[in-house]
């Protein structure tokens, strides 16, 4: 078992063992994998005696505050460190402009599972077959601390649980289940984690979901669907962007819909689009047409314009590409 190449693994383990001070960074708007992987990695390195700083530009979303070590996250970078570990993203830009501008590290190590052409770190453990960055951290954990305890296990389980959509998505491999099985054997309680991650919602989240679902639109072909969320909706429900997690799955769940997206207002006529595909359409390629990126079934980009026209434009592109696929 294992997917990290032997040479790459040796390089990474050597860099980790030599480093005394380590900064762990992950992408903005961190998800369960970014946070769980960062914390698992931090707890392993701390146990090895390293000075570890866990950096994210954004705060930990409420659904992940229960994770062991969640209070380690800080939103500022130190002067210097020996090793920078970039997790769950391969491009420094994804971690924010502060990290892009920062030069305080001697060496950089990237651990990620996103499809990318841009390997920007000194050592790159980038394997898109991994279901989550947490899977790669698990593999490294077995080398560095094979007897790792529940604190690490809960973080890795959460990383894999959330990135596989609770083991429902096509990235749920035999390896995902095998690792989850080992983590449960180490004491993780699946229902306990589920309740924390999915069933501890503030009432505002449900009110926001109601408002967002009212914006549902379906494309001419019936194969694309959209919802949107505005700052006004956040204000009126006492919520913010971290409460939108998962809402885009509702339009995708409609019979016949292949691609769904949610447009979130980020400024005046500025929107962040999150795409979800059932599998027929590669939304990473779709998002790339607009300067974004991601995975085959989940990707995102930013667009400017007025909302109804933006949605019609994106619908037309999706409908066209599906029509081409049909006629082939």
* Residues of the shown chain interacting with Mn ion in the complex, contacts defined by CB under 5 A: 33, 88, 132-133, 163
Nearer to Mn ion, 180 or 322 (CB): 180
Nearer to Mn ion, 19 or 24 (CB): 24
CA distances from 306 to 23, 32, 272 (A): 40, 32, 13
- Rounded Cα–Cα distance for residues 298 and 233 (Å): 24
Cβ-based neighbour number of residue 152 at 10 Å? 26
Nearer to Mn ion, 272 or 295 (CB): 295
Tokens 């698992």, located at residue:
40
For 308-324, letters b (16+ CB in 10 Å) and e give eebbeebbebbbebbee
- Residue number of the CB atom closest to Mn ion: 33
Nearer to Mn ion, 87 or 225 (CB): 87
**Burial zone of 145 (CB within 10 Å; 0-12 exposed, 13-18 middle, 19+ buried):** middle
CA distances from 115 to 128, 130, 132 (A): 6, 11, 12
CB-based contacts of 173: which residues, under 8 Å, 6+ apart? Answer: 129, 131
Nearest approach in angstroms of CB 132 to Mn ion is: 5
Nearest approach in angstroms of CB 255 to Mn ion is: 28
Nearer to Mn ion, 158 or 321 (CB): 158
User: Residues 34, 85, 122, 290: what is their CA dihedral angle, to the nearest 10 degrees?
Assistant: 30
Nearest approach in angstroms of CB 268 to Mn ion is: 31
Nearest approach in angstroms of CB 284 to Mn ion is: 13
Nearer to Mn ion, 88 or 91 (CB): 88
Helix or strand holding residue 12 (H, E): helix 6-18
Nearest approach in angstroms of CB 89 to Mn ion is: 8
Nearest approach in angstroms of CB 186 to Mn ion is: 21
Nearest approach in angstroms of CB 299 to Mn ion is: 12
Helix or strand holding residue 294 (H, E): strand 293-294
Nearer to Mn ion, 161 or 233 (CB): 161
* Residues belonging to the chain: 328
What sign for the dihedral angle of Cα 141, 158, 70, 72?
positive
Nearest approach in angstroms of CB 115 to Mn ion is: 12
Nearer to Mn ion, 77 or 132 (CB): 132
């Amino acid at each position: 078992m294992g997917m990290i190449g032997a040479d790459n693994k040796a390089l990474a383990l050597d860099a980790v063992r030599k480093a005394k001070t380590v900064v762990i960074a992950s992408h903005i708007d961190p998800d369960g994998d970014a946070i769980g992987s960062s914390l698992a990695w931090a707890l392993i390195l701390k146990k090895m005696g390293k000075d570890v700083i866990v950096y994210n530009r954004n705060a930990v979303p409420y659904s992940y505050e229960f994770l062991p070590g969640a209070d380690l996250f800080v939103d500022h970078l130190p002067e210097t460190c020996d090793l920078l570990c970039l997790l769950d993203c391969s491009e420094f830009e994804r971690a924010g402009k502060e990290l892009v501008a920062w030069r305080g590290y001697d060496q950089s190590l990237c651990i990620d599972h996103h499809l990318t052409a841009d390997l920007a770190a000194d050592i790159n453990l980038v394997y898109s077959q991994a279901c989550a960055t947490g899977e790669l951290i698990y593999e490294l954990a077995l080398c560095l601390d094979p007897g790792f305890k529940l604190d690490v296990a809960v973080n890795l389980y959460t990383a894999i649980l959330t990135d596989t959509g609770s083991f429902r998505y096509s990235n749920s491999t035999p390896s995902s289940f095998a690792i989850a099985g080992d983590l449960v054997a180490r004491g993780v309680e699946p229902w306990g984690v589920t309740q924390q991650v999915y069933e501890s919602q503030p009432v505002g989240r449900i009110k926001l979901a109601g408002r967002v679902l009212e914006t549902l639109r379906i494309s001419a072909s019936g194969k694309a669907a959209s919802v949107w969320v505005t700052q006004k909706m956040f204000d009126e429900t006492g919520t913010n962007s971290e409460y939108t997690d998962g809402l885009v799955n509702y339009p995708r769940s409609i019979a016949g819909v292949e691609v769904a997206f949610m447009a979130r207002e980020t400024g005046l006529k500025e929107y962040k689009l999150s795409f979800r595909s059932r599998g027929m359409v590669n939304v990473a390629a779709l998002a790339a047409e607009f300067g974004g990126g991601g995975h085959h079934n989940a990707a995102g980009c930013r667009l400017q314009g007025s909302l109804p026209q933006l949605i019609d434009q994106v619908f037309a592109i999706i409908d066209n590409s599906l029509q081409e696929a049909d006629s082939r």
